[in-house]
Amino acid sequence: MPDETLPTPLPPVENTDESPTESFGDLFAQFERTHSHKTDGDTKQLEGTVVTVDAESVYLDIGFKTEGILPRTAFENNAEGLTPGSKFPVSVKGRNPEGYYELSRIHVAQPKDWSSLSEAFTQKAAVSGIVTGVVKGGLTVDVGVRAFMPASRSGVRDAAEMEKLVGQEITCLIIKLDTTEEDVVVDRRVIVEEQARSLEQSRYAELKEGDIVSGQVRSLASYGAFVDLGGIDGLLHISDIAWSRVNAAEDILSVGQQLQLKILKVEPESKRISLGLKQLQAEPWDSAAETYKEGQRITGTVTRLADFGAFVELEPGIEGLIHVSEMSWVKKVHKPSDLLKTGDRVDALVLSVNSAERRISLGLKQALGDPWTDVPQKFPVGSTIEGPVTRMMKFGAFVELTEGIEGLIHISEITAERHLHHPQDVLRTGQVVKAQVLAIDAEKRQIKLSMKQLVPTGLSEFLLEHKEGDVVSGRVVEQSPESALIELGEGIRAACPITKNTPAAAKDNSSASLDLSQLTSMLNARWKSGAAPAGSQPEPLSVGQVRSFKLVKLDQETQKIELALA
């Protein structure tokens, strides 16, 4: 091989894998015999495979018994994210004192005269050069002659990085050549960009779905993190960071952090790579059916509220839903925020588990116990309760018996003294009232109450003033073949059985024309005397007729009266 493309071989370096007499020239000749990759020019283009990376250098397998070496600066981003196994085209320049082969990323030769410079300029071929210094507006480069490289074409971003190029071997293009004025201008940026594109293409070709790769977090966004995979970026979406809910990528990740990731999808055409971090961990839903059973009591944290319920985190990656209908036995919950807020720790019961659909239904009220269970024992029918009026509707007023338990006083059960148009005619919200329990329907969760039943009535007074055997006057208000309903005074009615000895109803009853408007006062006046109307004669019972009756039975407890015709 001509001397202009390879430097004078260095003295042999001791190596257990090589003969002490082996020289660089011998090894390179051997490599030429066994490798067929050729390029234009006099030197051999090789394929190097990254073996390892240290703080300053990248070591590559080039098919020789000894590895080749390149400075980290020969790679994009100072070789950050570069992984073993990556392949790059290289050429051998010589051998360093440690015995490693010095390599160049691109197979180029340094021009030796103006004719070779002209040829490279005409063919737009890359040339090799050494950066010799920083000058105003750029750098000086030795490409066989002194050349100028504008700062904008250096491929670096600031003055500090330009300083680091001094003494470095670079590859560049000649963009201006004036042999008369000996004016040469070179461009490194176009070569760097081309190298980046080449690296990018090779990386896209290397990466496959399912691969586990190393990468460094380059930047964070609201929707995830961009990770440098060694020359190309992949997107770690926020939903693929962890199995648990992640509100912001910065809560979990930081710029510069090294990660092991799984490649979820590669799209070379659109240059998109989707990455996953949580996919390297076990999927918590896989064991959810074994971990959570129906009826199990759990404790969790409210993570978010929706119109229809509250989501509760049971463990990282597993959430259950408390529907609004499962929040309270006694309150109508319109929205979850009526009872809960994000961050609350709650106890709940597991109602159902569906691992396939990733759903766990939870009950908050079931964990608290149903207060209606012992209502019939605590508030038996006939007992008297006391409590505040909580709300009023047109049909009645609700009264709180105990926390979470309400009963309804229908408007007709508020007072017997007068007809009400609305409960607010006599009641107000917050007013403490007494009422009697009339009925309980635990299944429907309803309690019927009455206030008027606790107020003394004309019937109570009548029972106190009379005894069994007394004869009183009353008016027949209803009649059937078996009995007649007799009115003994205002609001006082009793039943009188009709037997075979009772006279049958007359076909024509002149008493039906009696002025009934005065009848109530007349009957009240005769409670104590028991006297029948003057001139009355035994005759058959008929509706509207006023007769004398005997009090057969008076029951104070049931407030009932039984009569017989006197």
Cα 330 from Cα 334, distance rounded (Å): 13
pLDDT, position 503: 60
pLDDT, position 522: 55
Given a cut of 60, whether residue 25 has pLDDT beyond it is no
When pLDDT is averaged across residues 213-232 and rounded to a whole number, the result is: 89
User: For 123-197, where are the E strands, in sequence order?
Assistant: 126-135, 138-142, 146-150, 169-178, 183-187
Q: pLDDT exceeding 90 applies to what percent of the chain?
A: 31
Class of the 114-194 domain? mainly beta
> Which range, of 30-39, 137-146, 344-353, averages the lowest pLDDT?
30-39
* Residue-wise pLDDT tens digits, 78-89: 788 888 998 888
CATH number at 207-280: 2.40.50.140
Given a cut of 80, whether residue 235 has pLDDT beyond it is yes
Q: Residue 99 CB: number of other CB atoms within 10 A? A: 16
- Are the beta carbons of 87 and 49 closer than 8 angstroms? yes
* Residue-wise pLDDT tens digits, 42-63: 445 678 899 999 888 999 998 8
pLDDT level of residue 457 (50, 70, 90 thresholds): low
∠87-89-94 over CA atoms, to 5°?
Answer: 115
Cα 414 from Cα 409, distance rounded (Å): 7
* Residue-wise pLDDT tens digits, 238-281: 999 988 888 889 888 999 999 999 999 988 777 889 999 988 88
**And the tokens for 306?**
């929706």
When pLDDT is averaged across residues 360-371 and rounded to a whole number, the result is: 87
- The torsion angles phi and psi of 265, rounded to 5 degrees, stand at -160, 140
Strand pairing category for 138-142 and 126-135: antiparallel
Given a cut of 70, whether residue 16 has pLDDT beyond it is no
- Are the beta carbons of 494 and 486 closer than 8 angstroms? yes
pLDDT, position 523: 52
Parse the chain into domains and list their residue ranges.
24-104, 114-194, 207-280, 284-353, 375-454, 458-565
Distance set, CA 306 to CA 309, 311, 435 (Å):
5, 8, 40
Q: Residue 403 CB: number of other CB atoms within 10 A? A: 7
CATH number at 24-104: 2.40.50.140
Q: Which fold has domain 375-454?
A: OB fold (Dihydrolipoamide Acetyltransferase, E2P) (2.40.50)
Q: Residue 194 CB: number of other CB atoms within 10 A? A: 14
Q: Which amino acid is located at 245 in the chain?
A: R
Closest CA to 143 of 104, 109, 110, 185: 110
DSSP label of 224 = E
Given a cut of 90, whether residue 311 has pLDDT beyond it is yes
- End-to-end Cα, the chain, rounded Å: 150
pLDDT, position 44: 56
pLDDT, position 246: 87
pLDDT level of residue 7 (50, 70, 90 thresholds): very low
Cα 209 from Cα 51, distance rounded (Å): 23
pLDDT level of residue 227 (50, 70, 90 thresholds): very high
**And the tokens for 358?**
């990733």
SS3 233: strand
DSSP label of 462 = H
Given a cut of 80, whether residue 73 has pLDDT beyond it is no
Q: Which residues contact 207 (CB under 8 A, 6 or more apart)?
A: 213, 229, 263, 266, 273
pLDDT level of residue 398 (50, 70, 90 thresholds): very high
DSSP label of 73 = G
Place of tokens 């995830």: 224
- The torsion angles phi and psi of 520, rounded to 5 degrees, stand at -60, -50
pLDDT level of residue 507 (50, 70, 90 thresholds): very low
- Are the beta carbons of 458 and 491 closer than 8 angstroms? yes
When pLDDT is averaged across residues 63-89 and rounded to a whole number, the result is: 84
When pLDDT is averaged across residues 164-181 and rounded to a whole number, the result is: 88
> Which range, of 238-252, 404-418, 526-540, averages the lowest pLDDT?
526-540
Given a cut of 60, whether residue 108 has pLDDT beyond it is no
Partnered with residue 437 across adjacent β-strands are: 449
Q: Do domains 24-104 and 375-454 have the same CATH topology?
A: yes
Given a cut of 80, whether residue 64 has pLDDT beyond it is yes
Q: What is the mean pLDDT of the chain?
A: 81
Q: Which residues contact 199 (CB under 8 A, 6 or more apart)?
A: 75, 76, 88, 230, 231, 232
∠218-220-225 over CA atoms, to 5°?
Answer: 75
Q: Which residues contact 29 (CB under 8 A, 6 or more apart)?
A: 1
Closest CA to 81 of 256, 231, 237: 231
Given a cut of 90, whether residue 138 has pLDDT beyond it is yes
pLDDT level of residue 456 (50, 70, 90 thresholds): low
pLDDT level of residue 439 (50, 70, 90 thresholds): very high
Q: Which DSSP string corresponds to 290-314?
A: HH--TT-EEEEEEEEEETTEEEEEE
> With the C-alpha atoms ordered 307, 312, 318, 321, is the resulting torsion angle positive or negative?
negative
pLDDT level of residue 444 (50, 70, 90 thresholds): confident
When pLDDT is averaged across residues 425-436 and rounded to a whole number, the result is: 92
Cα 59 from Cα 135, distance rounded (Å): 33
**And the tokens for 151?**
């700062």
- The torsion angles phi and psi of 378, rounded to 5 degrees, stand at -75, -35
- Are the beta carbons of 186 and 130 closer than 8 angstroms? no
Q: Which DSSP string corresponds to 222-275?
A: TTEEEEE-SSSEEEEEGGGT-SS--S-GGGT--TT-EEEEEEEEEETTTTEEEE
∠144-147-152 over CA atoms, to 5°?
Answer: 140
Cα 405 from Cα 330, distance rounded (Å): 6
* Residue-wise pLDDT tens digits, 314-328: 988 899 999 998 998
SS3 513: helix
pLDDT level of residue 186 (50, 70, 90 thresholds): very high
**CATH superfamily assigned to domain 458-565:** Nucleic acid-binding proteins (2.40.50.140)
SS3 420: coil
CATH number at 284-353: 2.40.50.140
* Residue-wise pLDDT tens digits, 354-365: 988 889 999 998
pLDDT, position 530: 47
- H helices within 189-236, ranges in order? 189-206
When pLDDT is averaged across residues 59-73 and rounded to a whole number, the result is: 88
Cβ-in-10-Å burial (0-12, 13-18, 19+) of 539 comes to middle
Cα 245 from Cα 319, distance rounded (Å): 9
